[in-house]
Structure 1
Amino acid sequence: MDVVEHYRALIRNTDTVVGMMAGANGASEALTASHNYLLDYDALKMAIAERPEASVLDSAVKEYQFALFALVSGQYRHAFGGLRLFFELMLATVQFSAHEIDYRMWAKDSKDINWSALKDAQSGVFSVNFIRAFNPGFSDCAKQYLAIAEVVYRECSEFVHGNAGTHAILPSDIEFQEEAFFSWHEKAATMRLAIIFVFSARYLNYVTKEAAERMEPIITDVLGNLPPVQAIFSQPSEA
């Protein structure tokens, strides 16, 4: 058996998966939307570029791109796993902003990112205590977005841990699977919502005017109905 040729055949099969994906109704649009979220995350990165935790956001975005590649390649379990890692790193960026010692320890491989700490009801990034410390106006919505984050994280974790139901959903070979493909994009959109909420709550009171203006269309797109967002971005009417 020619092992190298075996993997070349898998790569050729990936081309077939991409072709089937491109021909599926709505698939190209979904892929484009998820890919373009990278522009949003770049704007968030620019807003905190001078802060130490910005490097964690860089790592998160890299994992998001790998997850997208796994998705279009038909490697769905890895795509969901990569998406979960991306989410953890994005939320850890916010957590590290308030706990720089934890960031320094993580950067030296002396501390792990812990999902239980990220979602902790008393001190996690969605907790009322955390949000009140930086932007009290967002605290009334904290529990709602924590619930959203917990659900989407748990759904991705099912693929990471190999739950029985995921084996029934995913193909046994590398091939296009429409349900898994669109499910990934739904989860990516949900994560974007939770990420933008927690970034807004943490940073909006502390970024430059230029950074806030760059972030405004991104934030108002998903959080424009929230009173604190309306208050921050409202402009006085001209006479």
Structure 2
Amino acid sequence: MKNVLRFLICNVFLLHAQAKLDSLDSLIELNETLVIDTAIKLDSLQNLVEDLQESYAREQFLLLEREAVIRINRAAFAGMWINKPLTGQRKDIPQGAEVIFYPYYIQDFIRVSFHDTIGYMSSAFYDQVGLTPYFHEARERALVREKNDLNLENESDRFKRRAKERIHEAKYLAKSIEDLTFAQKKEEYRKRILMDKWGYELGLKIKGGIVDIGFTETMVEDALGRPDSVNRTTYSYYVREQWVYNEGNYRYIYLEEGIVTAIQTKG
């Protein structure tokens, strides 16, 4: 009896789980259908965009073609740059050949067509006289456009240079602050050492680089550092030294038996 009951309970759970799986399968199929429909719509939109772009390009070309002018090339050694002036491939145009001129310029190069190839010819190879007014207007617009582009490029370069200068200035300032902080800490540490060593008043005086009569040679060294040179004179009962300093306010410091007895300052 217990086994039968267990079997029935298991069947109930299995049926419930199967129902959930079936529901999940239906949801997956529905999402797959939505994804496929969305992909189809995106493809249709992409095709529509491509058709519009192609139509726009065709209309633009027809517009230029309606305004185009056929001229006979009178210049020897004439030619055109394919796709972009002064870059890429150059194609020669024989003297006497028919060339189609379009009212579009890049710098001082006009767009032309020769043997179904689009390119750009320098103004040195054709005569501006006789071209319709909208050619001159197109050339003026091109010159203004080039000038504006150049100004924008120069302005961009100027901002980039200034940004680099500011970064350099910031680094230099940070380094200066770091050096200043280190120097301040070093001076503060030296001040504490001298005050602990010689007392408050003498410590401040020595830190300020001041020497007085009666100072020991150690005090002089703490105040002024080691001398640049020492002249020593030996007498019967004592030794006299002349400490020479080439920099600072003091010129000579005279010591007898290690004690300052005379001071000679500069100026």
TM-score by shorter chain over 0.5? no
TM-score grouping bracket, smaller chain normalisation: under 0.3
Structure index of larger Rg: 2
Please identify which structure carries the higher strand content: 2
